[in-house]
A and B are shown apart, each in its own frame.
Chain A
């Protein structure tokens, strides 16, 4: 069974930093590109970032470019999102996901990031 378990979400002050983690199991992690997707309270889904299977290519939504960094450690079956210069509008449930543009997606249950003073 595929499992994606996010962690690291907390309450953080504006301008602060945070690192999210996602532990993957039940599939060959390094066969897949991985994504972060977020959902602000009561709002829609927003794609955040993508990393290739080997970590060699990364892509970001304009809203987070220059502030967030996606990375992965295939030896640990783990995905990360380093979030810097956080803003109130970054408050959201952050999902780790694979294959969201294809036919065999998997999503975690999300980790909540709240940016507030």
Chain B
């Protein structure tokens, strides 16, 4: 099965822009989805597909992709954006079909 690699931790000053990246072979075939998870809560989808935001997600969240790398950008980070962020994608390596998650990035808003 495939793997997705994320930086373990990233920090950003309040109101500034931050990019969180996700690398893996599956991203050459499939778009990444991005989830935000706060302590004690289930994950919440913030970006899916080419660059789509579910209803209720602020437009400061955006996504992009190039080659084997997907990125989540938060433009004008707010204190409430401090959370863990996970990328995922479909995984169809070999005879396997499933989903793969990145290891997660802990975002600190300073």
Across the interface, B90 reaches (CB within 8 A) one of A37, A95, A101, A110, namely: A101
Which residues does chain A contribute within 8 Å of B48, judged by CB atoms?
102-103
Indicate whether B1 reaches chain A with its CB closer than 8 angstroms.
yes
Report the separation of the CA atoms of residues A95 and B42 in the bound assembly, to the nearest whole angstrom. 8
Binds A, one of B11-19, B64-72, B74-82, B93-101: B93-101
Report the separation of the CA atoms of residues A9 and B66 in the bound assembly, to the nearest whole angstrom. 40
Known: A44-B86, A45-B86, A61-B1. A103 touches B101 (CB 8 A): no
Number of B interface residues in the complex (CB < 8 A) = 26
Which residues does chain B contribute within 8 Å of A110, judged by CB atoms?
42
Report the separation of the CA atoms of residues A101 and B48 in the bound assembly, to the nearest whole angstrom. 8
Q: Secondary structure of the B side of the interface?
A: strand
Indicate whether B61 reaches chain A with its CB closer than 8 angstroms.
no
Binary interface encoding of chain B residues 1-15 relative to chain A, with 1 for a CB under 8 A from any of its CBs, else 0: 100000000000000
A-B contact count (CB 8 A): 60
Which residues does chain B contribute within 8 Å of A105, judged by CB atoms?
33, 45
Indicate whether A83 reaches chain B with its CB closer than 8 angstroms.
no
Indicate whether A31 reaches chain B with its CB closer than 8 angstroms.
no
Known: A46-B101, A47-B100, A50-B98. A100 touches B33 (CB 8 A): yes
Across the interface, B98 reaches (CB within 8 A) one of A45, A61, A108, A109, namely: A61
- Interface pair A62/B86, CB less than 8 Å apart: no
Report the separation of the CA atoms of residues A45 and B45 in the bound assembly, to the nearest whole angstrom. 13
Indicate whether A32 reaches chain B with its CB closer than 8 angstroms.
no
Report the separation of the CA atoms of residues A14 and B28 in the bound assembly, to the nearest whole angstrom. 39
Indicate whether A53 reaches chain B with its CB closer than 8 angstroms.
no
Which residues of chain B have a CB within 8 Å of any CB of chain A? Answer: 1, 30, 33, 35, 37, 42-43, 45, 48-49, 52, 54, 84, 86, 88-90, 96-104
Which residues of chain A have a CB within 8 Å of any CB of chain B? Answer: 35, 37, 44-47, 49-50, 57, 59-62, 95, 100-105, 107-110
